Amino acid sequence: MEEWSITELQQKLGSGELTSVQLIQTYLERVNSLDRSGPRLNSVIEVNPDAVEVASQMDAERKAGHLRGALHGIPIFIKDNIDTHDRMQTTSGSLALEGNYSFRDAFIVWKLREAGAVILGKTNLSEWANFRGKPSVSGWSSRGGLTRNPYALDRSACGSSSGSAVVVAANLCAAAIGTETDGSIICPSQSNGIVGMKPTVGLWSRSGIIPISHSQDTAGPMARNVEDVAILLSTLTGVDAKDPATRKQRSARQIAYASQLDKHGLRGARIGVARNMSGANPNILKIFESSIEVIKGCGAQLIDPVDVPNFNKFANTEYLKSMAPDCPCRSLAEIIKFNEQNKLRVMPYFGQERMIAAQMKGTLSSQKYKEAKKKNRQLSRTEGLDKVFRRYKLDAIIVPSGGPVWPIDLVNGDAINWDMESTSPPAVAGYPHITVPAGFIFGLPVGLSFIAKAWKDSTLLQFAYAFEQASRIRKPPRYLNTIEFSTTA
């Protein structure tokens, strides 16, 4: 099946060459052949039993001349920590939350449905979005098992939005939704050769999403190209009364990000090269230098280097109370107890140290929390990114998104060996961050990150799109059992 974009799919749906029902059925066949069998990617935790029925409704509306927008009839997967009011569960990959059928859609799910998207299912993830134990295994959950990287099946898919990245990379859907606290969209996106964006915190609502950090959490779009990311970003943007952070948006109106994309979008831009965040790995730096040359060729002004200060100095939720009555756990304490009582099934590879530590902490109203939050904001914003943007009059900063992913190791957990950093400064600051495919190291994808100040999401999309159109790096996965060292690094 061709890696059709959302725009291409809409053209085929509009011409009658394809129906939404046929599209859904084709993707479901790919799920069965690639995810449930074959290479067994294990990226899908649950398929929506009503997907074909919803697609049929979208086909009927199209035939009647009623089109809801760019996502009408388009299949989208969402991460299993996002509420859906349907016959699918929301468990964050945990057996402790089996039977949690949500009473209402998350705000962004409601926006998806209103736009005519067909929710194809839910994706596997690092259990509790990688907030349970350490060392953890990215892409593994007690409910969903282990998600594998389609470029090399013995390599990590990174996390925590592992499944959302893999369903996109393997073309099991048009696009997907992930969530990020620190790196959970960027890492799996760059490691699986796709585009992923962490928006400004507050651009998308967080209501109906199982939380980790009140100040950093956000959902975000993941797709095979920048235009599809822009379409999703536009569709799901909006002010939600249940999430005060969304009130900071400059306007409640929907911005058509995709229509603003321009292949000359980098011309005249001031781009800072964050050398002190880029590490010393020669293979990563080789790709980074090539990316810099592409950006120069696009007419940008490179300020090289710029050093980002404090980039490596960063040090109970109400959601559980809203769980379905049949759900066995409705507090963090009950989850910890459940995990201990079922540790052979829930904790065969790693424990729950993070949860235990969180249980011992104070509430979000405690003075210690407020002081820590203030200090982190100071380091990441005032004395960090803001300082660099202001000093050099930058529009964005670039840095390698990461390196080639590590082999899966269920005994020792994740073995991240990158001596660089891209995710924490914008994550702690709440600023937008996008990764675009930039190259391969022994066949494993590596991405390039663009980081900007708050609410400059449209600017980042412009830069990422111009780079993507000039470089055209992405290649579909080949589902190799392991990497081929004969492949050109």
Q: Which residues are catalytic, by number? A: 79, 160, 184
Buried b (16+ CB within 10 A) or exposed e, 55-86: bbbbbebbeeeeebebbbbbbbbbbbbbbbbb
H helical segments located in 107-248 = 107-114, 127-130, 162-169, 186-191, 226-236
* Amino acid present at 67: L
- DSSP-assigned beta bridge partners for residue 195: 223
Residue (of 132, 139, 138) closest to 340 by Cα position: 132
Q: And the tokens for 255?
A: 């911005």
Q: And the tokens for 184?
A: 């959970």
Q: C-alpha distances in angstroms, 251 versus 202, 203, 345, 459?
A: 12, 10, 47, 16
d(CA 446, CA 257): 25
Q: Is the N-terminal amide bond of 425 cis, ω within 30° of 0?
A: no
Give the distance, in angstroms, between the CA of residue 384 and the centroid of all CA atoms in the same chain: 24
Evaluated on CA atoms 92, 94, 96, 101, the torsion sign reads: positive
Buried b (16+ CB within 10 A) or exposed e, 191-214: bbbbbbbbbbbbbbbbbbbbbbbe
Helix, strand, or coil (residue 45): strand
Residue 247: how many CB atoms within 10 A of its CB? 11
